[in-house]
Structure 1
Amino acid sequence: MKITLKQKALKNDMLSLYIEYYKGSTNDSSGKRIHLRDFEYLKIYLYQFPKTAQEKKRIKKMKNWQKIFFQYAKQNMSKENLI
């Protein structure tokens, strides 16, 4: 399983952060490859183009939070794989 931290641009010039759990792929009955993925949206929103010092400071703070969430997700998934 591969765990990735990703971001998505929103219409209001913000970025939404989420974690993607990639579980590999399988083939369906017609031979088409299907990717097995789960997503966990963190409900963390960052300014895509920060203008003020306060917005830049908030981005720094939230990037620390995203690292914490990502490490937490990795630890939980490794524990689940051991059980």
Structure 2
Amino acid sequence: MRLAKRVVVVAVCAVLAAGSARAADKKAAAKDSAAAAALKQDMRKLWTDHVVWTRDYIVAAVGDQPDAQAAATRLMKNQDDIGGA
């Protein structure tokens, strides 16, 4: 009888510990999920800007426009931003 009580107590403790671990995992997963979503949003913005600045540079360079150098400078800054993200 004593052994049965110990087994039950150990089993209950194991179930409670597993439940609290799952709750902690869910909180960590939610935090990671929010961070991942923010990173995805930031990277999407950087790559969208990269497409825009690449297009602007190509149009300016092919058309021999005076703003080609400014577009190239901004494009290089965007590449640095992507590398730093």
For the superposition of Structure 1 and Structure 2, which TM-score range results when normalised by the shorter chain?
A: 0.3 to 0.5
| TM-score, length basis structure 2 | 0.37
Higher strand share: 1
Which of 1 and 2 has greater Rg?
2
